[in-house]
A and B are shown apart, each in its own frame.
Chain A
Amino acid sequence: MKKIISTIEVFAGLTIKRMFVVLGSMAALELILFWIFGLSRQVYTFENAVIRSFIPVVFCAAYLAMYWALAWFSGRNSTYRYTLQRLTLSERSATAVQTVYYALCFLLFLLTQVVLTVLMAKLFEGGKYFSEGAQGIFIDMRYNTYFLYNLVPLWTGVQRVKSLLCIILAAIAAAHMNVSVRRGYTPVISFILAAAAAMLWAMPIVPHMDPELVIPLFIFVILIPAGTLYMTYSRANKGSNVEDIPWD
C-alpha cells in the first residue's frame, strides 16, 4: 500500500544519487581500463583481457562502495528515526522494506556488471584480429574464470539461485549496517556478512559438493544471515515502548 511505497521513496531519495555515482564510476572506470589494457596486442583471450584491465578489482571496489552509498552515509544523521518510530508503519516494517529495496539495488549492481561485460566482449571481439571469434569469448566466460563465469548472461538455474542468495545476503548486511549506524553501533556482523556474500559469489559451483564444504557453507549462507536478520530487527525499534501492531 501507499505507506510502503512512500517509505521506499524516502529511502530511494536518500540513496539513489550516490548509488548512481558508484555505478557510473564503475562503468566509466571499467570501460576506460579495458580500452587501455584489454585491447592491446599481447592479450589473447577475453578472460585475460578482463583480468589485465583490473576489472575484478574495480568490481570489488564498487561492491564495497555500494555499501557506503546505501547504508553508511545515510545513517549519519540518525535522528530521522524519531520520525520513523512515529509512523503507523513500524520501524521494523520500514526496515523490511528497506532490505527489499537494498536487494533491488544490488540486483541492479550485478546487472550493470553484466551489461558492462557484454559491452567489453563486444569491444574485444570487434577490435581483435587474433580473435577466436564470439565462440572463443563464450568459452572463456563459461569455463575459464570464476569472475566471468558468474556473469554470463545465460545463467543456469544453480547460478541464478547462488546470485539471488548473494543479493539477499548483501541486502541484509546493508540493512543491518544502516540500522546499526543510525543508532551509533559499529556493525561488525554486517562486515562479516558482506564478506560472506562476496565469497559465496566467488565460489565455483561444482557438480559434487565436497562434504567438508557443507558446514562452512551452512554457516555462511544460513546461520549468519539469519542471525543478522534477527539482530537487525531487534535493533530496529529497540528502546521503544510503543507496542507493535501487526503490519497492516
Chain B
Amino acid sequence: MIQIKNLTKKYGSTVALDRLDLEIHPGEIIGLFGPNGAGKTTLIKSIFGFVNYQGSITLDGEPITRKNIARMSFGTCEHSFFPGINANDHAEFYRDHFQSFDERRFAVLMDFFDLPRNKKIKHMSTGQQNQFEVIMALSQGSDYIFLDEPFAGNDIFNREDFYKVLLGMLGPDETLLLSTHLIEEVSGLVSRAVLLDKGKIIGDKQIAELDSENAGLIDYIKDAYSYKADRVFQALEQLSPEGE
C-alpha cells in the first residue's frame, strides 16, 4: 500500500498540493480526475520524488528510496523514454536495471500494437510513442503503475484497445493509477475515482459504492465540481441581452 500523508507542494507562492492525504491499495484501478492545474501531475511526480515536497509518502511503510522505487513504474504524456535509441535497446536497458522486467508482456504488447523494434523512438509517430511509453510502464514488472495522461493524441480506437489490454493484462495484485481527462471512456474501467481540485481531494469513491447507490460516475463528478449544466447558456445570455 502507498500511503500519502499531508502532502504539500508549493511552486513559489502557488500551492500545487495542499495537505493531501491518500491511500493506494494493491489491486485497485484508480481514475485520477481533475481540471488542468488541479495537481494530478504534481501528485504523481511527488510520489516518485521528481519534485521536492513536504509531507510523507511511504510504500508498505517504507519511504520511497532507490531500494523500492523499482516497484513503481511511470508513463507520461511528456514521455520518459530515451528518444535516440530503439525499442530493443530499451528492452535491454530495462532488463539490466529492473530484475522484474516482463519479457513476455513486452513482446506481446509490442506485437499487438505493431510497433517496430528497430526504429528509434523519436522516429515513431506520437500515437506510437504514447503506446510505447505505456508498454514500458506495463512491462517493468512493477506492482504500482502510474500513467499520467498517457493517451494524449491517440485516436479513440487506440485508446479503447488499450483499456481492454490493461484489463486483460493486469494481475489481481497489480495497481494502476490513471490520470486522465477522458472520464466517460474510463468510467467502466476503473474501480475507484479520486477527484482533485486546486491541490485538494474533493472526492474519493469506490465505483461499487456508486453502483449500490445507483449513482453514475459522471453525475458524481459533476456534483463534486459543482458543475452547472447551464453555465454556457447563462454566459451566452449575457452576450446578447436583446435576446435572439
Contact = CB atoms under 8 A, between A and B. Distances in A.
Interface of A: 2-3, 5-6, 9-10, 13-15, 74, 77, 79-83, 85-90, 239-245
Q: Give the top 6 A-B pairs by smallest Cβ distance, nearest first.
A: A82-B80, A242-B49, A6-B96, A13-B85, A14-B84, A241-B49
Nearest to B83: A77
Interface size class of B (residues with CB under 8 A): 20 to 34
Interface of B: 46, 48-53, 63-67, 69-70, 72-74, 76, 78-85, 89, 92-93, 96-97, 122
Given A85-B49, A85-B50, A242-B64, A13 B76 contact: no
24 contacts: A6-B96, A9-B92, A10-B82, A13-B82, A13-B89, A74-B84, A77-B122, A79-B79, A80-B79, A80-B82, A82-B76, A82-B80, A83-B74, A83-B82, A85-B48, A86-B70, A86-B73, A88-B69, A88-B70, A88-B97, A90-B66, A239-B50, A241-B52, A243-B63
Contact of A79 (B69, B70, B76, B84): B76
Given A2-B96, A77-B83, A243-B66, A86 B89 contact: no
Find the residue from A74, A79, A241 having the highest chain B CB count within 10 A: A241
Contacts of B93: 6, 9-10
A182 to B, nearest CB: 12
Contact of A14 (B49, B63, B82): B82
Given A77-B79, A82-B76, A243-B65, A3 B50 contact: no
A74 B84 CA distance: 8
Contact of A87 (B52, B78, B81, B97): B97
A74 B66 CA distance: 25
A215 B64 CA distance: 46
B82 to A, nearest CB: 5
A19 to B, nearest CB: 12
Contacts of A10: 82, 85, 89, 93
B119 to A, nearest CB: 13
A88 B66 contact: yes
Most buried by A among B49, B65, B97, B122: B97
Given A83-B74, A245-B65, 16 more contacts: A9-B92, A13-B85, A13-B89, A77-B79, A82-B78, A86-B70, A86-B74, A87-B97, A88-B66, A88-B69, A88-B70, A239-B52, A240-B52, A241-B46, A242-B65, A242-B69
Nearest to A245: B66
